[in-house]
Amino acid sequence: MLGFILRRLGTFIPTFIGVSIVSFLFIRLLPGDPILLMAGERGMSDDRYAQLMTQFGFDKPLLTQYWDYLNGLIRGDLGLSFKTKRPVWDEFFALFPATLELSLCAIAFAIGLGIPAGIVAAVNRGKWPDQALMSTALVGYSMPIFWWALLLIIFFSGTLGWTPVSGRISLMFFFPTDTGFMLIDSFRSGQAGALASAVEHLILPTIVLGTIPLAVIARQTRSAMLEVLSEDYVRTAKAKGLSPLRVNGVHALRNAMIPVITVIGLSVGTLMAGAILTETIFSWPGIGKWMVEGIGSRDYTAVQGGLLMIAVIVMVVNLVVDLLYGLINPKIRQR
C-alpha cells in the first residue's frame, strides 16, 4: 500500500514539471505586456520601463526565467503577484476555501442526484424513467454553463425572486471568517439568518457547477449498473429474497462503484474548469474569479501559480480515488 502511494507520488514529478512548463508558457503566449498594463493610461518613461523589466526579470531569456521559477517552486515559493505584491501562495489559500466549498457542494449535488438517477434508469432500462432521465442527462451535459447560469438567474432570481444573484452572503452580515467556509463561519457566528443567507447564495452556483458532473455520473452509473445487474451474484442476492432496494442499492451498486468513482475523480478537473466560469458569473470570490482577473491583468505569477496548484489538487484527488478502489472491491486490494 505504502509502496503503491510512493510509486504514484513518483509519477507526479514528470506531470508536475510538464504542468509547470505549460502554465508558464500559456500566460506568456497571450498577447499583452504586463508592465504596460500596470502603467495604464498614463504610460511610462522608457527608463522606468527598462527598470521594471529588470526588476521582474523579463529581460532575461525565457529559459532562465523558467529556471528561476522552477527553483522557487522546489522551495515552495510561487513568487509574488505582480498586481498585489503579495505571495501567490497566500492569495491562493485565502481564496481557495470559497472554491472548495462551492466545488464540494456541487459534487455532493452531482453524486446525490446522479447515482440514484443512474440506478433508477438501469433498473428500468428501456422504459420511460430510463428514457426521461437519460435524455435529461444528455441535455444537462450539452448545456453551455454560461447559458444555463443565465437561464437559472433569470428564472429563480428574476421571475421568482427566490435566490440572490452574486456573492457568498448578504452584505447585512459581518462575522470573522476563520475557516473560510461560509456555511461553517455563518453557523458559528450565531447571527440569525446568516446560515440561511449563505445557503441561498450557494444554491444557484452549486446547480450550475454540478450539472455537468451530475449528467456524467448519472450516465456512468447507469452503464456500470447495467453491466453488473446481469452478474450471477445479483441473481444470488435475488434468490435470497432480498428487496429490490437491497439487491440494486447494495449488491449491484457496490460492484458498479469503481467506474463511477473514476468519473467522480475525473470530474474534479471538469469542476475546476467550470468553477472559473461559474465564479465569474456569480461574482464568487474564489480561485476561478481570481485567475480570470489575473489573466486580464497578465499577472504572470498569479496565473501560473494558480494553474499549477489546481493541477496538483487534481492529481492528489485522483490518487485518493485510486486508493478508494481497494476499499470498495477487496479483490483489487490484492494486486
Partner 1 sequence: MPLLDVRNLCVEFKTADGLFKAVDGVDVQVDVGDVLAIVGESGSGKSVSMLAVMGLLPWTANVTADAIVFDGVDFTTAGAKQRRSIIGRDVSMIFQEPMTSLNPCFTVGFQIGEALKTHLALSRSERRKRSIELLEQVGLPEPERRLRAFPHQLSGGMSQRVMIAMAIACKPKLLIADEPTTALDVTIQAQILELLLELQNDTGMALVLITHDMGVVAETAQRVSVQYAGQKVEEQCVQDLFVDAHHPYTHALLAALPERATTRTLPSIPGVVPGQFDRPQGCLFSPRCAFADAQCQSAQPLVQSESLGFARCHYPLLDGKPLQASEVRK
* Binding site residues, partner 1, CB under 8 A: 125, 230-233, 235-243, 246, 251, 254-255, 328-331, 334
CB distance 204 to 106 below 8 Å: no
- Alpha-carbon distance of 281 to 283, in angstroms, equals 6
To the nearest whole angstrom, how small is the minimum distance from the Cβ of residue 279 to partner 1?
Answer: 38
* Helix pair angle (287-296, 253-281), 10° resolution: 40
Nearer residue to partner 1 within complex by CB, 200 or 231: 231
**Rg over CA atoms, the chain:** 24
Q: How far is the CB of 205 from partner 1 (least distance, A)?
A: 35
Report the distance separating Cα 23 and Cα 316, nearest Å: 18
| Alpha-carbon gap, residue 254 to 228, rounded angstroms | 10
DSSP states of 264-293: HHHHHHHHHHHHHHHHHHTT--SHHHHHHH
- In whole angstroms, what is the distance from residue 270 CA to residue 278 CA? 12
By the 8 A CB rule, do 225 and 253 touch?
yes
Closest CB to partner 1 among residues 104, 323: 323
- Is the Cβ of residue 120 or residue 295 nearer to partner 1 in the bound state? 120
Instruction: Give the three cell numbers for residue 254.
Output: 457496490
- CB-nearer residue toward partner 1: 60 or 125: 125
To the nearest whole angstrom, how small is the minimum distance from the Cβ of residue 102 to partner 1?
A: 33
Question: Residue 329: which H helix or E strand, with range?
Answer: none
Could you tell me the smallest distance in angstroms from the CB atom of residue 76 to partner 1? Answer: 41
- Our CB check for partner 1 shows the closer of 6 and 239 to be 239
**What is the DSSP secondary structure assignment for residue 6, as one 8-state letter?**
H
Least distance to partner 1, CB of residue 251, Å: 5
**Cα-to-chain-centroid distance, residue 283:** 16
Please provide residue 193's backbone torsions phi and psi, each rounded to the nearest 5 degrees. Answer: 85, -10
Q: How far is the CB of 254 from partner 1 (least distance, A)?
A: 4
By C-beta, is 48 or 235 nearer to partner 1?
235
**CB nearer to partner 1: pick between 86 and 333:** 333
Please, which residue, 42 or 335, has the CB nearer to partner 1? Answer: 335
Minimal distance, residue 118 CB to partner 1, in Å = 17
- What DSSP character marks residue 82? T
> Between 76 and 241, whose beta carbon lies closer to partner 1?
241
Instruction: DSSP letter for 101, please.
Output: H
Question: Shortest distance, CB of residue 242 to partner 1, whole angstroms?
Answer: 6
DSSP state of 46: H
Q: CB of 220: closest distance to partner 1 in angstroms?
A: 18
How far from 28 is each of 32, 49, 144, 289, 298, CA to CA, in Å?
9, 18, 28, 20, 8
